[in-house]
Amino acid sequence: MLYKAGVVESEEIDFLFDAGIYNEDIDIREVAAIQGFYEKHGYIPENHIVTFLNWLTYSARKNISNELEDITKSSFSGRCAVAQSFYSQLLDKLGLNKMTFNIGDVVGTDPIHALTCVEIPTKHNGEDVKKLFVLDPTFRQFCISEENRFERYYEEPRWSVKMSSPHPGYFFNLTDEGREFAQGLIHYGFFEVNEDSLKTYFDPFKLYVTPKEDYANKEDVGKIASTELTGIDYWDRMLASRKDVMTSSNNFDLSTPREIAQKEDSKLLNRLRRRNIQGELDAMFEAENSSSHVSSNSSTK
C-alpha cells in the first residue's frame, strides 16, 4: 500500500461516492525506467502513461498532505492551489509541458479550483502524438455529502461561490455517466482530455455556479445535468484563461523517479556493505575466539 494509516484520528467525512483514492503499490524502478526512456527518446510509450500518471498523482497527494493524517480519508479541501504549484515545479523538472488555469475562469466566475493540464508525448500506431491530461488530485473535496444536498439551493452561500447551490458532486450524481466519471477521477486524480471528457467534467462546475434564479423553468432547478456548452467551448476557455502559478511556500519533495530509485539503490548498497563489514568483524572475532581456546588448551597441557 502506498499510504500509511494516519497517526492522528481525523473526523470521518461522508462522501457522495464510495470510490477510494489510488493506493496500490508502485514500482519506482519501473517509473524510473519510464522517465529514462522519455529523456532518451522524447516520448513515453502509450501503455506506460497511466503508470507514470499514477506515480505523479501519488506524489502530489503526498506532498499536499500532513504526514500525520490518513490520506485515504482526506477530502483535500482547499489544497488545489498547493497541488498546482507542486505539479508546476515537478513537471518543469521532468521537462514536460503543462498549462495551469482556474475553473472559475472557464465557467465565468470567481476562482474556484486551480488545475494543471499536462502534455504527454507518445506514439500511437507508429505516429507521434501528444496526449493531454487534466490533473485533479483534490477533486474529492467537491463530493462531500453535506455540501451536495438539493437543499443547498435554499441555504446561505458558502465557500468560493457567492450563491447557494449544491457542489459539483451533486450534478455528477444525476447521471450514470457522471457517476462513473466522478468515481474514476476520485480514484486516479486525472483524466484524458477529449471533447466528451471536458463536457462531462466542466458541466457540473458550470451548474454549480448557476443560481436557481437563472433557470427559466423553476422546475428544472436541481434536475439538469448538462449545459449547452460543448467540450470545444470549454477547451477554448481553458486556453484563454491560462495563467501563471502562484508560488507556494511549501517545502516540496521534488525528487524524480530516477532520483528516488538511485537513493534506494544507494541505501541498499550501504546496507549490503554494512552486512559485509559486520560479517568480516564477526568472522575476525570468531577466529580470535578460536585462537584463544587453542592457546588456553595448550597451556593446560
**pLDDT single digits (tens) 144-170:** 999 999 999 999 887 777 789 999 999
pLDDT bucket at 300, cuts 50 / 70 / 90:
very low
The answer to which of 27-31, 46-50, 248-252, 272-276 has the lowest mean pLDDT is: 272-276
pLDDT bucket at 291, cuts 50 / 70 / 90:
low
pLDDT tens readout for residues 58-93: 999 999 998 888 999 999 999 999 999 999 999 999
Residue 299 has pLDDT above 60, yes or no: no
* Residue in the structure block whose three cell numbers are 434564479: 213
**Which pLDDT score is estimated for 59?**
97
Give the Cα-Cα-Cα angle 30, 34, 36 (nearest 5 degrees). Answer: 110
Instruction: Determine the residue type at 90.
Output: L
Return the bridge partners of 127, or none. Answer: 124
* Residue in the structure block whose three cell numbers are 493524517: 69
The answer to which of 111-115, 204-208, 243-247, 268-272 has the lowest mean pLDDT is: 268-272
Give 127's contacts (C-beta < 8 A, 6+ positions apart): none
Q: State the average pLDDT over residues 93-121.
A: 97
pLDDT bucket at 231, cuts 50 / 70 / 90:
very high
Give the sign of the dihedral formed by CA 243, CA 249, CA 252, CA 256. positive
- Tell me the domain boundaries of the chain: 28-254, 256-301
C-alpha cell at 228: 449547452
Return the bridge partners of 128, or none. Answer: 123
Percent of the chain having pLDDT more than 70?
A: 86
pLDDT tens readout for residues 4-53: 766 566 678 999 999 999 999 999 999 999 999 999 999 999 999 999 99
